[in-house]
Amino acid sequence: MEYIFGKRQQLRGYGRKRTPKMPATETLKDGEGSSGDSHTSSNPSLENIHNDKLFVERFTSLYNNEKLSDIILHVGDERFYAHKFMLIVCSEVFEAMLNEERWKEASQPEIKLTEEEECVPVFSLFLRYIYTGSVGLTTDNVLPILLLADKYCIPALSVACVEYMTRHIVESPDTNRTLSWYQYSKMTGNTLLVDKCRKFILSNFDIILKTADWMDLSKEEVIEFLSSSDLVVSNEFDLWLRSEKWLTSESNRHAIADNVKDVVPLLRFKMIQPKQLLEIEKSQLYQDHKEIFSEKINAAYRYHSLIMNEVHQNVRDEMFRNYMCNVYGLCIDLTLLHYNYVEKYESKISHKVNIPVDVATSNQSYMKDVQFEVTFWPKGPFKTFSWYGYLSPNATMSVKMLSRNLSSVQASMSLILFGIKNGIKYVAFSYNNSHKFTASSSVFTEDNVVPLERLTAENSPYILHGNLEAKLFLKIQTVEWDKEN
């Protein structure tokens, strides 16, 4: 699928800041009618009649209606009967275009509007909004409608579109759509939407790698994503294989040398197994650009050699991503089968895990891992007090450091819940946090991971074939040894 990005048209000179006009008459006091009857304020029979619906219906009837129309808009192959008054009061751009003599459109009975290709099919919805104040948004049409709202300077519609997008980012695993939203939100500086889209993309990067969307990413986007340690991917070798396809694609061959120089250093070769490193060395890309690969490949071999000989030195300058492959020892399965049928007191999931430390900066070279106990209550923690039980209204997670002789351990935690839509399994929810584990703060607890009402709801997006599928990535960032031991 092609992106729906399209440069915003710059209508220079269109639009001006409107200066509020002073009222022609004095402000009415409460209860006074427009006719000036002052006695109505004390009249006990006064009733205010609100025919708002009828008022809206009157204007709705004028939509694309030849009656009283004083301008025709040409958009694509369609013609719309419109009313200058409606366009001007709703849009500053239309006000300048149709109400200022210096613009030729002001004197023409018909004007042609040049819109982005994806905006043409939704222009009727956009124009109807001007007459009715309402529009039906979907994940398919919201971006082109937002493009029109921004172009014609209708802030209320722009805000409504952005709010809709923030609520529906995880509506379905349509990576093309989310990438389009992400691109546009960055271009317009909407930081809230940028953050939400980026979080969804990083959590579902394994899906993006397997779609045509990956091949369409710009170099700047590839660099941005490969620089992140929050990518949820199977393993680093798969990430290399997909990066190789992007680098050697027809659309990127014209700048392959520059792309290799900028992209290859972002791959974390120390996370790739030696036999897979050999596969990389056999590739044509490696043969053609050895000078760029050699330093990182050699460093990776050296790292694996030291690990095999149990010589743990501070040789890793590459952090773990959120790898789902078991070889890394970072991904903890928190799946609960038959979620709706499991009693709350039986739903507790607990694992003792050893998390590798050589990924982090440690002043003790022989330290290999740290032991934690991870506990997940997907139906809320259940505690018994005499004959009573207590159920939290939220799913709860706790992580406890069990290893001793450590002054502190800084660790990051990423909990993901899977969903399924249109036959595609994807990350529908993600929670991220970090904690510094010490002797006095050895337990991290999050009581509000996700509300139970979202898990137990009918057709919950987090329940797959009756099961709750969840994973936790636990990654050590820094370690400090207790010098007294």
The confidence score (pLDDT) of residue 171 equals 66
Q: Which CATH class is domain 50-168?
A: alpha beta
Distance CA 385, CA 59 (A): 63
pLDDT per residue as tens digits for the range 296-307: 999 999 888 876
Cβ(425)–Cβ(458) below 8 Å: no
Q: Is the dihedral angle over the CA atoms 332, 410, 376, 414 positive or is it negative? A: negative
Tokens 């694609």 belong to 249
A 10 A CB-CB count for 476 gives 24
Strand partners, 232: 322
Q: Side by side, which strands form the sheet with 443-451?
A: 349-356, 369-377, 394-401, 443-451
Looking at CATH, the fold of the domain delimited by 204-308 is given as: 1.25.40
> Taking Cα atoms as reference points, which of 467, 70, 3, 483 lies closest to residue 212?
3
> Taking Cα atoms as reference points, which of 195, 210, 53 lies closest to residue 133?
53
> Residue ranges of the domains in the chain?
50-168, 204-308, 329-481
Task: Give the SS3 label for residue 295.
Answer: helix
Single-letter amino acid code for the residue at 255 = A
What single-letter DSSP state applies at residue 336? B
The confidence score (pLDDT) of residue 3 equals 40
| Full pLDDT tens readout for the chain, 485 residues | 344 434 344 333 444 444 444 444 343 444 444 444 555 567 888 888 777 777 677 777 778 888 888 889 999 999 999 998 889 989 999 988 888 766 766 668 889 999 999 999 999 999 999 999 899 999 889 999 999 999 999 999 999 999 999 888 876 666 678 888 998 999 888 888 899 899 999 999 998 898 888 888 999 999 999 999 999 999 999 999 999 999 999 989 889 999 999 999 999 999 999 999 999 999 999 999 999 999 999 999 988 887 655 544 444 467 899 999 999 999 999 999 999 999 988 999 999 999 988 644 434 444 478 999 999 999 988 765 544 445 568 999 999 999 887 889 999 999 999 998 878 889 999 999 999 999 999 999 999 899 999 999 988 889 999 999 999 999 998 888 776 54
Q: Side by side, which strands form the sheet with 110-112?
A: 78-82, 71-75, 110-112
Q: Determine which helix (DSSP H) or strand (DSSP E) holds 191, and give its type and residue range.
A: helix 191-203
Same fold, 50-168 and 204-308: no
Q: How far is CA 55 from the centre of its chain?
A: 39
Distance CA 229, CA 205 (A): 12
Cβ(176)–Cβ(188) below 8 Å: no
Q: Is the dihedral angle over the CA atoms 52, 57, 60, 66 positive or is it negative? A: negative
The C-alpha angle with vertex 59 and arms to 55 and 65, in degrees rounded to 5, equals 150
Distance CA 447, CA 377 (A): 9
Tokens 């660099």 belong to 223
pLDDT per residue as tens digits for the range 256-270: 999 999 999 999 999
Q: Determine which helix (DSSP H) or strand (DSSP E) holds 481, and give its type and residue range.
A: strand 470-481
The string of DSSP codes covering 361-422 is B-S-TT--EEEEEEEEETT--EEEETTEEEE-SEEEEEEEE---SEEEEEEEEEEEEEEEET
Cβ(425)–Cβ(419) below 8 Å: yes
Q: Crossing angle, helix 219-226 and helix 236-247, to 10 degrees?
A: 170
pLDDT per residue as tens digits for the range 129-149: 999 989 999 988 999 999 999
Q: Which CATH class is domain 329-481?
A: mainly beta
In 92-251, where do the E strands start and end? 110-112, 232-233
Single-letter amino acid code for the residue at 195 = D
The confidence score (pLDDT) of residue 173 equals 67
Rounded CA Rg of the chain: 30
Cβ(399)–Cβ(410) below 8 Å: no
Cβ(178)–Cβ(200) below 8 Å: yes
| Strand pairing report for 232-233 and 322-323 | parallel
Q: Is the dihedral angle over the CA atoms 239, 242, 246, 248 positive or is it negative? A: positive
